[in-house]
Amino acid sequence: MVYYETPKDLRKYIQAFYTLLEYSFFTYIFWLHIQKKVFKILILIASVLFIIFQIFFVTTTTFKRLDSIPIGIETILLFIYIFYFFYEFSKYIKDIYIYNHYTFWIAVGIMIYLGGSFFFYILINNLTPDEINRFGNMTFVAEIIKNLLFAFSIYMYKKHPVNHILNHPKNFPNLDMI
């Protein structure tokens, strides 16, 4: 309700902030679980660039309903992080099934949520109110599935508390020629 009482000029800032918040929250989850330093640095760089772009986009562009382009970029970036997370997981974790790890369910939830709403948010500024009503429900379904999967991930976290951190090949300390 507060959102609809907000003046129309300010709404875009709320939307932009929401996109940033959502991106930051989801990214942070994968940031915690991805172990490769290089990829973590890449996530940092991508995130900084994304924030700069979002600020630039909001201050220079007027949009009818939603900040479609930043949402599209957010989705693509998060898909990349999830793909990499899966890749890293299958490379380093061999002793447990991936679906026994709680982050797997978070990742699937995010993918369904983002996949289910990607085209809708991309095209929302070109849709009629009737179409928005019709297809908006589809995003709600994706969102409900996401929430259910998030809840399931909490259950998995409780069930398998040991397997939260990805193991990596060990490094011996430097003992060379001393």
Does 135 engage in binding with other proteins (CB under 8 A)?
Answer: yes
Q: Which sign, positive or negative, has the C-alpha torsion 142, 24, 84, 69? A: positive
Applying CB under 8 A, among 83, 140, 147, 148 the residue interacting with other proteins is: 83
State in angstroms the smallest separation of the CB of 121 from other proteins: 10
Does 150 engage in binding with other proteins (CB under 8 A)?
Answer: no
Phi, psi of 155 (to 5 degrees): -60, -45
- Contact call for residues 112 and 149 (beta carbons, < 8 A): yes
In whole angstroms, give the CA distance from residue 90 to residue 92.
6
Choose between 51 and 132: whose C-beta lies nearer to other proteins.
Answer: 132
Choose between 44 and 141: whose C-beta lies nearer to other proteins.
Answer: 141
First-residue to last-residue Cα distance in the chain: 69
If you search the block for the tokens 């630039």, which residue do you land on? 56
Alpha helices in the chain (DSSP H): 2-5, 8-33, 37-60, 68-92, 102-123, 129-159
Applying CB under 8 A, among 90, 133, 137, 167 the residue interacting with other proteins is: 90
Does 111 engage in binding with other proteins (CB under 8 A)?
Answer: yes
Residues 40-79 as x/- pattern, contact with other proteins by CB under 8 A: ----------------------------------------
Count of residues interacting with other proteins (CB under 8 A): 34
State in angstroms the smallest separation of the CB of 59 from other proteins: 28
Applying CB under 8 A, among 29, 43, 58, 112 the residue interacting with other proteins is: 112
- DSSP classification of residue 35: -
Applying CB under 8 A, among 1, 2, 162, 178 the residue interacting with other proteins is: 178
State in angstroms the smallest separation of the CB of 50 from other proteins: 20
Does 108 engage in binding with other proteins (CB under 8 A)?
Answer: yes
- Contact call for residues 86 and 111 (beta carbons, < 8 A): no
- Three-state DSSP state, 136: helix
